[in-house]
Structure 1
Amino acid sequence: MLGTIIVTLVVGIIIGFLGKAVAPGDRDNIPVWLTIVCGIVGAFVGSYIYYAIFGVADNNPGGDMYDTSKGIDWWRHLWQIAVAAILVVVASTVTGRNKSRV
């Protein structure tokens, strides 16, 4: 249980900061804790969307939503980062912290 929490936080940090890095313009001025939340939610939602569209690869018949192919699934991670970037933009807009509202 503790291992799952630690892995989730690490993945949230990485995906959140990558999503923040690819967010367009000055819309990424949000606190670190909100970036991590966007990363965690982006990782889960991105994985779900990827699994719903593409399913499990033929070379991994026993896979599930978090194990869609053998090895590292780079496409799934790109979906996670894209969802996190969208969430960063939404969070910035909702919190009123984007510089474009001047």
Structure 2
Amino acid sequence: MIGSIIWAIVFGIVIGAIGRLIVPGKQNISLGLTWIVGIVAALLGTLVAWMFGFSDTPGINWWEHILQIAFAAVGVFLVVQQQARKA
């Protein structure tokens, strides 16, 4: 159980970093916020993949990873836009 949680957090951090790399331009957000966006995006991507029946694939589930990265990129973009409005 603890190992699964730690693995999900580490994977979410990686997903957040990939999402941040996809968004063009300079992102003035902290690493911690990027990690949080990535963890949430990983959970949302897994949930959406499960809802549409993509979670029962043998081997690497590419559709799930694509959804997770897409959610991370959108999340990073939205956070950057929100912070730009505050400035």
Amino acid at match of 1:49: V
Tell me the amino acid that sits aligned with residue 35 of structure 1. Answer: T
Which residue number in structure 1 is paired with residue 11 of structure 2?
11
CA distance in structure 2 between the aligned counterparts of 1:86 and 1:41, rounded to whole angstroms: 11
State the structure with more CA Rg: 1
Q: SS where residue 18 of structure 1 aligns?
A: helix
User: Which of residues 74, 77, 85 is equivalent to 2:62?
Assistant: 74
Correspondence for 2:29: 30
Superposed displacement of residue 88, structure 1: 0.4
SS of residue paired to 1:96? helix
| Aligned length, in residue pairs | 86
The 3-state SS of whatever aligns with 1:29 is coil
The Cα of 1:24 is off from its aligned counterpart by: 3.0
Residue identity (%): 40
Gaps of 5+ in 1: 57-66
After superposition, what is the alpha-carbon deviation per residue over 1:6-28, rounded to whole angstroms, capped at 9, x for unaligned?
Answer: 112211111000010111333x3
**Following superposition, which runs of at least 4 residues in structure 1 exceed 6 angstroms of deviation?**
none
Distance 1:79 1:10 in 2: 17
- In the aligned structure 2, how far is the partner of 1:14 from the partner of 1:74? 15
Matched, 1:96 2:84: yes
| Cα RMSD, aligned residues only | 1.9
